[in-house]
């Protein structure tokens, strides 16, 4: 079995195919893809394109018809499926918490199966609850029904991390939550991944979520054929074809703003006593633009100075005068 690590390992898919009996075409057709260690790669595409089937073949919830899967250089198809799954974190949209087990028991499920001693499991539960911003003393003895949907999703992520797997598979884990909760979970997960650097495959149909979370995005056609596989910035700047461009839509500039942080743009002057709206250094430029528009201002105060609308536009390679359509669409 591949070793656990605090960070991820490389995943290689080689000519991976899944053909269900009685179906005229493969659900997944000859997919070859390299996923670098420690990166979050998003599979995005329309319903039925094969993205979830491709992901499930990695932990063999779906058995491949042909092809190879290597994790950390090891052939997954040569391993015992149950043992394999205990070394891969898995989080899904429905969360899948056991209703008659406490939160601590749910999180400790895989470590218990792996034979960890009780004190080690207990310490790991407290560590993970703190990591996902749930106070251990308040939540470890509760039951899933006593938590909100967003809290249950956090527990689902904690359970996927419980045995410190190098690889995590996530199938639309935030899809069932309301928009505000979903954005909050996405923000927290971005911070979490920066700390942990697991290798994560994340399935979604939401291109904006893919841009926000992914180090790389695989835009998939039917049969999991790869239309484009690149960084979010590269896909936004140069979509491979009309199919990929259709996912981006008409607001590519706004999406590029979401990729950059306020701290990456030069601020001028002193914000002290300016009375300008405030924005944090780790906020995106899209959030900074939203704040400017909400306050009817063309600048805002950051921890390092004053960020202007002109500087924001320059950061994404445009001139302020060219962005009137962007501002109008935001309003």
Q: Report the C-alpha gap between 93 and 47 in whole angstroms.
A: 15
Note whether 69 and 178 are same-domain residues: yes
Task: Provide the CB-side half-sphere exposure for 299 (13 A, CA).
Answer: 17
The pLDDT-based confidence of 193 (bands split at 50, 70, 90) is confident
Residues of the domain holding 219 = 1-87+165-249
What phi-psi label fits residue 164: left (phi over 0), alpha (psi between -120 and 50 degrees) or beta?
Answer: left
| Residue range 42-66, pLDDT digits in tens | 999 998 899 999 999 999 999 999 9
- Tokens 């979830």 — which residue? 52
Checking if the pLDDT of 328 tops 70, the result is no
Least confident of 28-37, 132-141, 178-187: 178-187
Of 246 and 271, the structure prediction assigns the larger pLDDT to 246
Return the CATH number at 245: 3.40.50.300
Q: Would you say residue 309 lies in a domain?
A: yes
Tell me, yes or no, whether 92 lies in a domain. no
Which residue has better confidence, 241 or 325?
Answer: 241
Measured distance CA(230)–CA(237) in Å, rounded:
11
Residues 6 and 122 in one domain: no
210, pLDDT greater than 70: yes
Same domain as 176, residue 51:
yes
Tell me the mean pLDDT in the region 23-50. 94
* pLDDT tens track for 88-103: 988 877 667 899 999 9
- Report DSSP state, residue 175: T
* Averaged pLDDT, 170-186: 80
Rounded distance, CA 225 to CA 23, Å?
Answer: 17
Of the listed ranges 87-101, 169-183, 187-201, 308-322, the least confidently predicted one is 308-322
Same domain for 82 and 169: yes
Report the percent of the chain where pLDDT is more than 90: 46
Residues 1, 81: one domain?
A: yes
- pLDDT, greater one: 322 or 110: 110
Task: Please tell me the pTM assigned to this model.
Answer: 0.81
* Count of structural domains within the chain: 3
User: Are 69 and 179 part of one and the same domain?
Assistant: yes
Answer whether residue 79 shows pLDDT above 50.
yes
* Same domain assignment for residues 13 and 79: yes
Does any domain span residue 40? yes
Q: Is the pLDDT of residue 222 over 50?
A: yes
Q: Is residue 64 part of a domain?
A: yes
Single out the residue in 249, 274, 307 at which a domain terminates.
Answer: 249
pLDDT of amino acid 2: 58
Residue 322: per-residue pLDDT: 47
Domain assignment of residue 255, yes or no: no
Distance CA 105, CA 140 (A): 8
The answer to which of 22-36, 203-217, 262-276 has the lowest mean pLDDT is 262-276
Find out whether 88 and 94 touch, Cβ atoms under 8 Å: no
Averaged pLDDT for residues 111-133: 91
Q: Is residue 232 located within the same domain as residue 286?
A: no
Residue 153 binned pLDDT confidence (cut-offs 50, 70, 90): confident
When comparing pLDDT for 7 and 299, which is higher? 299
Position 235 confidence tier, pLDDT thresholds 50, 70, 90: very high
- Across the range 161-184, mean pLDDT stands at 83
Question: Over 60: is that where the pLDDT of 267 sits?
Answer: yes
């Amino acid at each position: 079995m591949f070793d656990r690590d605090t960070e991820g390992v490389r995943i290689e898919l080689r000519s991976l195919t899944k053909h269900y009996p009685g179906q005229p075409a493969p659900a997944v057709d000859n997919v070859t893809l390299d996923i670098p260690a420690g990166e979050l790669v998003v599979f995005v595409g329309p319903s039925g394109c094969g993205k979830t089937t491709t992901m499930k073949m990695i932990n063999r919830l779906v058995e491949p018809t042909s092809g190879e899967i290597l994790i950390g250089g090891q052939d997954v198809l040569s391993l015992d499926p149950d043992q394999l799954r205990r070394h891969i974190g898995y989080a899904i949209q429905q969360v899948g918490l056991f209703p008659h087990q406490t939160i601590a028991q749910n999180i400790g499920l895989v470590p218990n199966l792996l034979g960890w001693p009780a004190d080690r499991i207990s310490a790991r539960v407290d560590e993970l609850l703190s990591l996902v911003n749930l106070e251990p003393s308040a939540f470890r003895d509760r039951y899933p029904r006593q938590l909100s949907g967003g809290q249950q999703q956090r527990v689902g992520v904690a359970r996927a991390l419980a045995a410190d797997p190098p690889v995590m598979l996530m199938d639309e884990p935030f899809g069932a939550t309301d928009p505000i909760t979903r954005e909050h979970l996405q923000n927290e997960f971005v911070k979490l991944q920066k700390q942990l650097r697991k290798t994560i495959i994340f399935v979604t149909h939401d291109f904006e979520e893919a841009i926000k979370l992914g180090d790389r995005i695989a835009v998939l056609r039917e049969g999991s054929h790869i239309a484009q596989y690149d960084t979010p910035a590269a896909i936004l700047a140069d979509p491979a074809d009309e199919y990929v461009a259709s996912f981006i839509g008409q607001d590519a500039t706004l999406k590029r703003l979401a990729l950059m942080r306020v701290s990456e743009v030069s601020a001028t002057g002193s914000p002290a006593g300016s009375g300008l709206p405030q924005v944090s250094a780790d906020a995106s430029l899209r959030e900074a633009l939203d704040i400017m528009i909400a306050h009817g201002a063309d600048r805002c105060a950051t921890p390092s100075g004053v960020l202007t609308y002109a500087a924001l536009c320059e950061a994404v390679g445009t001139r302020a005068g060219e962005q009137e359509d962007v501002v109008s669409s935001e309003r």
